[in-house]
Structure 1
Amino acid sequence: MNTTATTLKMIFDRWYALLKNFDASLNALTDEQLQHEIAPGKNRGIYLLGHMIAVHDDMLVLLGLGDKLYPELNEPFIKSPDKTVNDIPSAAALRACWSKQNEILKQKFDSLQPEEWFQKHTAVSAEDFAKEPHRNKLNIIITRTSHLAYHHGQFVLIK
C-alpha cells in the first residue's frame, strides 16, 4: 500500500468508526429522548441530529459530488439556534434522512479515485488553492470528522 492509500485508509477508517459510534448512540435513544437537552439550556438531541444531517449535506456540494439532499434543513439546523424554529421534522424523519444520507455519501466517496481527494474543494478558488494545496477535498473529510466527534461527545450526554 502506498502513502496515499495508507493516508486515505487511516482517515476514512476514523470517519466510518465515528459514524458507527454515532449511529449506536442514536439507536440507543428513543424519539422522546431526542427531545431532551444535552445539558440544561443547551441543544436538544433532535437539533444535533438535524444539524449533523445539514452539515454533512454541505459536503456533497463542497466535494463537487452533487446537490444537497435536504436543503430545507439548512435554515432550522445551521442558520437558526435550537428552539427558535417551531416546525422541524420529526425524529423518525430525521433518522431516515441520516441513514439515507450516510449511504449516499459512502457511494459518492467510493466513486472517487485516490488522487481526486487531493484536488481543490468547491469553496476555494484556483488561485488560493495554488497557494494552499491543503485546502483540498480530503481536508473537508478531516474537518467533518472532527465535527462529528465533537457532536457525538455531546450526543452521548442525552438521557
Structure 2
Amino acid sequence: MDTTQTAVKLILDRWEASMHNYDVLLQSLSDDQLQKEASPGKNRGVYLLGHLIAVHDSMFPLLNFGEKQYPELTKIFIESPDKAVAELPSVQELRTIWSKQRTSLKEKVDQLKAEDWFGRHTAVSEEDFAKEPHRNKLNIILTRTTHLAYHTGQMIYLK
C-alpha cells in the first residue's frame, strides 16, 4: 500500500468509525428520547437526525455520485431551524432513511480508487481547484466526519 492509499484508508476508516459510532448511539436512543432537546433551547434529537441525513444527502452530488436521494429534507433540516417546520417526518421514517442512505453512500464511497479522492468535488470550479487542490473529494469526507462527530456529541446528552 503506497502513501496515497494509506492516507485515504486512514480518513475513510475514521469516517466509517464515526458513522458506526453514530449508528450505535442512534440505536440506543428511543423515539421519545429523540424528541428531547440536546440541552435547553437547543435542537431536538429528531431534528439532528434529519439534519445529518440532509447534510449527508448533499454528498451524493458533491462527490459526483448522483442526485440527492431526499431533496425534500433540505428545506426542513438545513434551511430551517428546529421547530420552524410544524410537521417533520416521523422518527421511524428518519431512522429508515438514515439506514438506507448510509448503505447507499458506503457503496459509492467503496467504488472510488484512492487517487480519485484527490479530484475536485462539484462545488468547486476547475479554475479554483487548480489554485486550491485541497478542495477535493477527500476534504468532503473530512468535513463530514467532523460534522458528524460534533452532532454525535450533542446527541449523547439525550440519554
> Shorter-chain TM-score: which interval?
over 0.9
State the partner residue of 2:122: 122
Separation in structure 2 between the aligned mates of residue 151 and residue 104 of structure 1, nearest angstrom? 21
Separation in structure 2 between the aligned mates of residue 71 and residue 93 of structure 1, nearest angstrom? 15
Separation in structure 2 between the aligned mates of residue 38 and residue 53 of structure 1, nearest angstrom? 18
Separation in structure 2 between the aligned mates of residue 151 and residue 108 of structure 1, nearest angstrom? 23
Would you identify which runs of 4 or more consecutive aligned residues in structure 1 move more than 6 Å?
Answer: none
121-130 vs 105-114, greater mean Cα deviation: 105-114
- C-alpha deviation, 1:33, in angstroms: 0.9
2:94 partner letter: L
1:25 partner letter: L
1:13 partner letter: D
Instruction: Report the secondary structure of 1:149's partner residue.
Output: helix
Separation in structure 2 between the aligned mates of residue 26 and residue 113 of structure 1, nearest angstrom? 30
5+ residue gaps, structure 1, are none
State the partner residue of 1:22: 22
5+ residue gaps, structure 2, are none
State the partner residue of 2:140: 140
Give the length in aligned residue pairs.
159
Separation in structure 2 between the aligned mates of residue 112 and residue 74 of structure 1, nearest angstrom? 26
- Asked if 1:87 is matched to 2:84, the reply is no
TM-score, structure 1 normalization: 0.98
Instruction: Report the secondary structure of 2:54's partner residue.
Output: helix
CA RMSD across the alignment: 0.6
- C-alpha deviation, 1:112, in angstroms: 1.1
String of CA shifts for 1:48-93, please: whole Å, max 9, x gaps.
0000000000000100110001001001100000001011100000
State the partner residue of 1:150: 150
State the partner residue of 2:57: 57
- C-alpha deviation, 1:114, in angstroms: 1.4
- Asked if 1:100 is matched to 2:100, the reply is yes
Work out the percentage of aligned pairs sharing the same amino acid: 62
State the partner residue of 1:10: 10
TM-score, structure 2 normalization: 0.98
- C-alpha deviation, 1:111, in angstroms: 1.1
- C-alpha deviation, 1:113, in angstroms: 1.5
- Asked if 1:42 is matched to 2:21, the reply is no
1:134 partner letter: H
Separation in structure 2 between the aligned mates of residue 121 and residue 20 of structure 1, nearest angstrom? 25
String of CA shifts for 1:16-59, please: whole Å, max 9, x gaps.
11111101110011111100000011000000000000000000
String of CA shifts for 1:93-113, please: whole Å, max 9, x gaps.
000000000100010011111
State the partner residue of 2:75: 75
